[in-house]
Structure 1
Amino acid sequence: MSDNESGKLISKREQRHHSLFSELPLGVIEQDWSMIKKKIDKLNAEEIENLPLYFKNNPLFLRSLVDSIKINCVNDSILKIYGANSEAEFLKAEENAEGWWDEEWENLYASEISALASTNKINYQELKESRMDGSIFDVRLITRLVSGDEDTWQRILTIVEDVTERKTYEAELIKAHQKLKDKQRQLVHSEKLASVGLLAAGVAHEINNPNGFVKSNLEALADYKNSINAVFQVYSELEQALMLHQEILNESEIGELLNNVLEIKQQQHLDYILSDIPKLLDDSINGTVRIQKIVMDLKQFSRVDDTGLKWVDLNEEVIETALRIVWSELKYKCKLNKSLAPLPKYKCRPGELGQVIMNLLLNAGHAIGVKGEVSLTSEITDMAINISVADTGLGITEDDILKIFDPFYTSKEIGKGIGLGLSISQSIVEKHGGTISVDSDVNKGTVFTVSLPLD
C-alpha cells in the first residue's frame, strides 16, 4: 500500500472516530500522551519493571509525566457534566487549576499510567471532581487506549460518567441495610426478652429456693450466736475469778463455776452448734453460688450480643447455660437424658446460639403433656458439630412442618408465643453457616438438629 493510500485510510478512520466521539452520550476526553510514551519507553529500556514502586519513590517524575498530558478535545457531554459553556472554557479551567495535586491524585495517576503501560489497556477509577461552579460530584473514569493506536500509544480516551446519583443511592442502600441489621438485632433481642418473660415465674422460683434456705441458715446462725455468747459469758466469769482470786478461791467455788459452765454448754447445745455451723455456712455459700449462677446466665443470655465471634466450649458455655435457664420449665414434667460428647472450641456468637438451644428446649417442654422425656445430645462428625433436642411429645404434622420456620407461625395458645422463635433460630444458625432440621412423628415425638460446620 502506498503512503498516499495509507494516509487516506487514516483520514477516514479519524473522521469516523471524531463523528462517534462527538455524539457519545457519555462524557469523553481525548488526550495526547505522546510524551508519556517516550518517557515510559525510556524506563523500559532501563529495565524498570515495577512502575508503581518507581513512581512512589520518584513523585516528581510522576508529576512531570502528568504535566506532559495535553487534552486534544472534549465532547459536548463533558461540557454538560462540568457545566462549561465551551471547550475553550473547559480547557482554560483545566490549565488554570491550582492546588489539585494531592496523595489521592498521585495514587490515581500512578495506577492509571502503570495500567496503560502494561498489558492492562483499560483503567478504572472513581473519585470526586469539581464543576465550573465549584460544586463537588462523583465521577467514574474509564481510561483506555484508542483502538488502532496501541502501538504508537499517543492517544488516550477517558470516559467520564457522573455517578453522583448512583453514589447517593448506594449510600442510602448501605444506610437502609444497616437499619435492617439493627432492626433484626432488636428483633432477636426482643425475642430473648420475651422468652425470659415467659420463664420469669420459674426463674423466680429457682432463685427463691436457695434464697430461702440461705435466709433460714442465717436466722439459725443468729440464734447460735446468742447461745455461744451465753457460754462464753460464763467462761469469761470463770476466767476473771481465777485471775482475781486465784490465791483465796477455794475448791468449792471453782467447782461451782465449772458446773455452771458445763450446765450452760448443755443447755445451749454447744457441741451441736459448733458441729452444725460449718454445714450451715457451706449450704449458704452453695445457695449464693446458685443464685449468682442463675443471674449470670440470665445476664449473658439477655444482653444484646454485639461482641462479635468468640471461641467457646459449646457444651458448657452454650448448651449447659441454656439448660440452666429453662430447667425450671422442664424439671417437673420432663426426664432429661443428656449426652454431650467432648467438642473442640468453636468460633461463634454464644449468646445467639444459646438462644437457639433454649428455644428448642422450651418447644420440647411445651410439646410434652403431663410427663415425658427430653434428650439433649452433642456430637462431632468429620464435617460438623451436631446438637440435637428430642422430645416424646405430640409431634408435628407434615403440613405444619412446612410452616414451622415461617415468621409468626405458632401452634401455641395465645400468650404462649408469637411465632418468632424458630424463625429467628433458623436465621441465627444460617448466619453461622449451619443448618437446622426437624424430624417428627405425630404422637411419638420430634427431633430438632442444629448442624454447625467445622472449618
Structure 2
Amino acid sequence: MSNNKSGKSISKREQRHHSLFSELPLGIIEQDWSIIKKEIDKLHPENIDNLPLYFKNNPLFLRKLVDSIKINSVNDSALKIYGANSITEFIEAEENAEEWWDEDWESLYASEISALASTNKINYQELKETRMDGSIFDVRLITRLVSGDEDTWNRILTIIEDVTERKNYEAEIIKAQQELKDKQRQLVHSEKLASVGLLAAGIAHEINNPTGFIKSNLETLADYKNSIIAVFQVYSELEQALMLHQEILSESKTGELLNKVLEIKQQKQLDYILSDITMLLDDSINGTVRIQKIVMQLKQFSQVDEAGLKWVDLNEDVIETALRIVCNELKYKCKLKTLLAPLPKYKCCPGELGQVIMNLLLNANDAIGVKGEVSLTSEVTDMGINISVSDTGLGISEDDMWKIFDPFYTSKVTGKGTGLGLSISQSIVEKYGGTISVDSELNKGTIFTVFLPLG
C-alpha cells in the first residue's frame, strides 16, 4: 500500500488501474452504476432472468436507470475523441445535452445492463455518437465491470474506440462492390446488345436472299404483264371491228362468243384489272427495293460486310441510315426536322459514325416528355464537318453536365439505358480526331455537336 497526497492509502491494484486508465490510447469513461444495481436487485427474479423483455415493456424504468448513471472519470483519449478540453466540460455537455434518447440508445443500455446482470458479461455495441462540435462519428463501445466491484457496480468501464474511418472504408468497399456488380451487369447487357446487333445483321442477310428472288419474279411478271396488255390491246381493236357487223354476228357462232366475252369482261371488270395491275406490280417492286435498302443499311451499320475505312457520303451513308433505323422510335412523340448541307466524301467506318448519330437521336427522343421536336443538321466549314442533333426536351443540369460522358453514367430509369452510349460515341469520334460538344438549358433543350476534322 502507498499513500496519495490526501493521506489515503492506494492499493497496487488501484495504482495499476489508474496508470492503465490514464495512459491507454483507447478512450475510457469510468461510471458509477450503483443505483442501477440496487434497482435491479429489487426486481422479481423472473424479471431479472429476462431483463431485455422487462425493459421493452417498461421503457420509463430503463430511462430512469440511465439517468441515475454518474461519471467518475474520463481519460485523455476519450476527451480527445469527443473533442472536450476537460472532464468538467465533458460532464457539463452530457448533463446539458438536449433530448438524445432514441431507440438506438434504449437498445444500447438495455443490452449493456442485461449483459452485466447476467454473470457480469462484457457487452459490445456499435453506434453513432456526437462530438462537442456537433459532428457525428461512429464508435465501438465495450462495457465491463472493474474487477472487485462486481457486487456493487460502483465502477463501470466503457471503452470507446472511434471506428469512423473503418466504417467509411467498409462503406466504400460495399459501394465499390455494388458498382462493380452494376458494371458487370451493364457489360453483360452491352454484350447482349452487341450479340443482338450481329443477330439482326445475320437475319437481314437471310432476308436479302428471298427478297432478291421475289423482286426478280415481280420484275419478270411485270414483263409478262406488258405482253398480256399488248395482246388485250389487239383484242380490243378486234372487238371494235367485229361490233361494226352486228347483223352478221347476230346469226353466227362468232356473235354468240363475242357477247359472252363482253359479259365476262364486264363482270370481272377486266379494264380496271388491266389498269390496276400496273400499280400493284410497281408498288411491290418498290417495296422489295426498300427492303433491300434497309437490309443493306443494317449490314452497313453492324459493319458485318466492312473491311476497314472507306470513303462515304456522310449524309446518305451515315445520317440517313441512322434516321431510317431509329425513325420508328422517334415518330410517336418527335417532330423530326433535317437540314443537311452537301458534304465532301469522308473516310470512315460508316457503321461506327452511324452508331454515334443513332445514340444522339435516341437520347434526344428520351429527353422529350410527351411531344417535342428533334432537329438534325450537317454543314461543312473551313475546319471540318459539323453534325448537330438538338431537342426541345428536359435539358441537362450543370451538376450532370460534367459527367454525361462518364462510362455507366445515366439519368434514365433502371433498365432503360446502360450509360455507355455517350461514352462509346465520344471514343468513336475521338478516334477520327474529332470532338463531341454539348450545350444545354434546363427545360428548354440540348444540342450535341459532332465535329469531324477534314484532311
- Give TM-score, length-normalised by structure 2: 0.47
Determine which structure has more spread, i.e. the larger CA radius of gyration: 2
